[in-house]
Amino acid sequence: MTLREWIELQAVIMSLWPHAPRLTEEQLRTQHRLVASVGAQAAVDAIEAWALAANAFPPPPGVVVAEVARRGEPTTGWAQARQLLVRAAAAFGRDREADALRWLAERSPFAARMAVEQGWRQWCREELDSPDHGGAVDARLARTYGGVVAGLHRERAEGRVRPLVGDRLRALGAGEGTPGQPRRLDVAGVLGVGEPR
């Protein structure tokens, strides 16, 4: 979540615990560094669950993060997903897509799905910080990512999650769509003899 989202979340905390102390800007920034890896909605859910458990004081940031992890709710914020995608691109490059997808899937299913839906090689070509585009690329990708998150949430709610990342990893493992690898020629199929593969 962003710092602004964490600051806005303080209104929820103050409404649930009116006796909670007001935090300074420095305290909010310090706490934000601890909770930045979780999505804002996941944090709201964790805080509300803490309140429903009749806790007399708001949860500290570490408890918010632990509760989100316990619930299995992944990172949903674009800033965090962007950071993961950039790190994966730097570490694995465009030709090690399977390694990048496995690394991303361990950290955020949303970021991994973004990489698959957009195309890993396309992601690696994006000019996120180019001054020529004035932030337009990042804004476009943030909108795309919002659609990915909404789509995955919708699939989960309907109980029909498409295994896009797993399917892509299997395809890469079978050599399909892997750049630089020769395709296998189906000689029998070309000649019209035998069963095509």
> Tell me: the pLDDT tens digits for 132-177?
766 777 788 888 887 887 787 778 778 888 888 889 999 998 886 5
Q: Are residues 84 and 51 in the same domain?
A: no
In this prediction, residue 145 carries a pLDDT of 83
Q: Is 111 among the domain residues?
A: yes
Q: Which residues of 128-157 are buried (b: 16+ CB within 10 A; e: fewer)?
A: eeeeeeeeeebeebeeebeebbebbeeeee
User: Would you say residue 49 lies in a domain?
Assistant: yes
Q: Is residue 184 part of a domain?
A: no
* 120 and 168 both lie in a single domain: yes
**CB 84, CB 111: distance < 8 Å:** yes
* Average of per-residue pLDDT values in the chain: 80
Q: Does one domain contain both 86 and 66?
A: no
Range of the domain at 127: 78-173
Q: Which two tokens stand for residue 38?
A: 């979780």
Specify the CATH number for the domain of residue 59.
1.10.8
131 and 88 in a single domain? The answer is yes
pLDDT band for position 183 (cuts 50, 70, 90): very low
Per-residue model confidence as pLDDT tens digits over 122-134: 888 877 666 776 6
Number of domains in the chain: 2
Q: Are residues 168 and 95 in the same domain?
A: yes
Digit-coded pLDDT (tens) for 25-84? 999 999 988 887 777 778 888 898 899 988 899 999 988 988 887 776 655 677 778 888
Instruction: Answer yes or no: do 162 and 90 share one domain.
Output: yes
Query: Is the domain of 82 the same as that of 163?
Result: yes
CA distance 135 to 120: 21
Instruction: Retrieve residue 99's tokens.
Output: 């390694």
Query: Are residues 106 and 129 both part of a single domain?
Result: yes
Q: What is the pLDDT of residue 140?
A: 83
Residue 195 lies in a domain: no
pLDDT at 134: 62
- Domain assignment present for residue 23? The answer is yes
At residue 19 the predicted structure's pLDDT band, cuts being 50, 70 and 90, is very high
pLDDT at 97: 93
- pLDDT of 57: 92
